[in-house]
């Protein structure tokens, strides 16, 4: 995934990469989401700083036996605004990251323009082994030899884990 700072600083280079790889990502939408995210992050940080400074005033006011109800109400208001901004910020961040995953890396200058179908074979290393049988896929070998139990592992520890058998 490309860094957002790099995308902001090199939008034309990234647009060319998107076009060269026949991707459908709208870079202007990505840049707009980034701008909105940075605005929200600034508002969030400002509100958080204000909340911290106001919360430091409460003990001082209580010490001098002054009324803190106005400041406590102000703190509640700030806290509610921070929660709203946080929810919106999370939503925009998630959408932005999804869009960033669809932006291709900048291809080397010798890479042909186009998608996967336009890739060119460059080189091969070693000799291809010739078998007198049809090689099986990894999952087929695992299932035939009962080496792993995916279903039981998922029940025990959740998805993404495997369970060895035998």
Q: What confidence tens digit (pLDDT) does each residue in 4-52 have? A: 999 999 999 999 999 888 888 899 999 999 999 999 999 999 999 999 9
- Is residue 48 one of the residues assigned to a domain? yes
- Extract the tokens encoding 118: 């336009």
Beta carbons within 10 angstroms of residue 112's beta carbon: 10
Tell which residue, 84, 17, 5, 91, has the closest CA to residue 44: 84
The pLDDT score that the predictor gives to residue 24 is 87
- Is residue 126 one of the residues assigned to a domain? no
Domain co-membership, 103 together with 140: no
Domain co-membership, 28 together with 82: yes
- Is residue 123 one of the residues assigned to a domain? no
Domain co-membership, 66 together with 141: no
The pLDDT score that the predictor gives to residue 42 is 98
What range defines the domain where residue 142 resides?
136-166
Domain co-membership, 39 together with 102: yes
- Is residue 115 one of the residues assigned to a domain? no
Domain co-membership, 103 together with 154: no
Contact 147, 165 (CB under 8 A): yes
Three-class secondary structure of residue 27 per DSSP: helix
Domain of residue 87, CATH code: 1.10.287.40
The highest-confidence range among 51-60, 78-87, 101-110, by mean pLDDT, is 78-87
Tell which residue, 104, 137, 135, 108, has the closest CA to residue 120: 108
Beta carbons within 10 angstroms of residue 44's beta carbon: 17
Domain co-membership, 102 together with 154: no
E-strand stretches of 27-112: none
Q: What DSSP designation does 118 have?
A: G
The pLDDT score that the predictor gives to residue 61 is 80
C-alpha to C-alpha distance for 102 and 7, rounded to whole angstroms? 13
φ, ψ at 164 (rounded to 5°): -80, 145
- Which residues, in sequence order, are CB contacts of 10 under 8 Å at separation 6+? none
Global pTM reads 0.66
- Extract the tokens encoding 160: 């993404």
- Is residue 86 one of the residues assigned to a domain? yes
Domain co-membership, 79 together with 159: no
Q: Give the count of domains, the chain.
A: 2
Point out the domain boundary residue: 58, 91, 107. Answer: 107
Domain co-membership, 30 together with 100: yes
Contact 32, 8 (CB under 8 A): no
- Which residues, in sequence order, are CB contacts of 14 under 8 Å at separation 6+? 2, 6, 7, 27, 103, 106
pLDDT beyond 90 at 91: yes
């Amino acid at each position: 995934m490309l860094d957002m700072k790099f995308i902001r600083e090199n939008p034309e280079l990234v647009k060319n990469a998107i076009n060269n790889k026949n991707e459908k990502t709208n870079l202007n939408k990505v840049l707009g989401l980034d701008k909105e995210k940075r605005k929200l992050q600034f508002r969030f940080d400002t509100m958080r700083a204000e909340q911290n400074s106001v919360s430091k005033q409460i003990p001082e006011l209580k010490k001098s036996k002054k009324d803190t109800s106005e400041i406590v109400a102000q703190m509640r208001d700030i806290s509610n605004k921070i929660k709203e901004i946080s929810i919106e910020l999370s939503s925009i961040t998630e959408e932005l990251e999804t869009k960033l995953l669809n932006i291709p890396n900048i291809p080397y200058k010798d890479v042909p323009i186009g998608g996967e179908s336009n890739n060119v074979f460059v080189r091969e290393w070693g000799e291809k082994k010739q078998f007198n049988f049809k090689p099986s896929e990894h999952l087929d070998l695992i299932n035939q030899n009962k080496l792993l139990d995916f279903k039981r592992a998922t029940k025990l520890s959740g998805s993404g884990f495997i369970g060895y058998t035998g």
